[in-house]
Amino acid sequence: MSTCRDFAGVLDGSLRYARRRFGPACLVLAAASLSVSVAHAQLSTYGVGRAPTAGEIAAWDLTIPPDGEGLPPGSGTAALGKPIYEERCAACHGDKGEDPKYNRLVGGQGTLATGKPVPTVGSFWQYATTLWSYTRRSHPIDEPGSLTADQVYAVTAYLLFMNAIIGEHEVLDASTLPQIRMPNRDGYVLDPRPDVGWTSKVENQ
């Protein structure tokens, strides 16, 4: 951490440079500017902003882990999710989730180990719970976080239905969503580094 002595040294050197380079006319301006900078650097706070409230933190605390802990009340089916998808998602991803412009959402199963992998919800995603979490906090792209919990359950159900993972009328909620086994569940490996990943989590418990 810099001290007042450090700042004084900087100030003195800067003033001497200004006097040599620009002459007396700029000396007063340089001194005033640096004095303000020194004063600001020593303040413990700038008096801007405030601590967020518990409600504000909760509104942005949207990440759901693989086990589904923290999933909110609500429910949805693919049948209910279809019109929501068509209104809020299809413009980017296509009517059937097939448009590669903004990443395909459907198909691709069995392609990841080939020379032309097609990562989609059905071929790549590991957990249905994290799909729900990602959808909730980042979509629709023009208004992220605007969908209700029921709508997110419904859209998630529709994405899973289009990938032939669940039925059209199966109900997704905080209880059933974590039970879904995605096709690529075993396609990932644990991070072996000792300071991060699962190994670190287990050792720190």
Chain segment 67-112, per-residue pLDDT in tens: 999 999 999 999 999 999 999 999 999 999 988 888 899 999 999 9
Written as one letter, the residue type at 71 is L
Instruction: In whole angstroms, give the CA distance from residue 125 to residue 134.
Output: 11
Per-residue model confidence (pLDDT) at position 61: 75
120 with 163: CB under 8 angstroms? yes
Q: Give 40 or 147, the one with higher predicted confidence.
A: 147
pLDDT at 112: 92
- Domain boundary assignment for the chain: 4-41, 55-187
pLDDT in tens, 166-182: 999 999 999 999 999 99
- The structure tokens 């086994």 sit at 181
Model pLDDT, residue 100: 82
Architecture of domain 55-187: Orthogonal Bundle (1.10)
What's phi and psi for 194, nearest 5 deg?
-70, -20
Give dist(CA 191, CA 84) in Å, integer. 37
The pLDDT, as a whole number, for residue 196 is 74
CA dihedral 156, 159, 165, 171 (to 10 degrees): 40
Residues near 112 by beta carbon (within 8 Å), at least 6 away in sequence: 118, 119, 123, 124, 184, 187
Higher per-residue pLDDT: 101 or 202: 101
Range among 20-24, 157-161, 189-193 with highest mean pLDDT value: 157-161
> Which alpha helices (H) appear in the chain, and where do they start and end?
4-22, 24-41, 54-60, 78-88, 90-93, 128-138, 149-162, 197-203
Instruction: Give me the percent of the chain exceeding a pLDDT of 70.
Output: 73
Band of pLDDT at residue 39, cut at 50, 70 and 90: very low
What are 125-169's pLDDT values in tens digits?
Answer: 999 999 999 999 999 989 988 999 999 999 999 999 999 999 999
Give me the half-sphere count of Cα atoms (radius 13 Å) on the Cβ side of residue 76: 26
Least confident of 17-26, 154-163, 166-175, 183-192: 17-26
Structure tokens at 134: 């990602």
Residues 6+ apart with CB under 8 A from 35: 11
Using DSSP's 3-state secondary structure scheme, residue 76 falls into strand
* For residue 140, cis peptide bond before it (omega within 30 degrees of 0): yes
Supply the pLDDT for residue 195: 78
Q: Give the model's confidence band at 20: pLDDT under 50 very low, under 70 low, under 90 confident, else very high.
A: low
Residue 23 C-alpha from the chain's centroid:
53
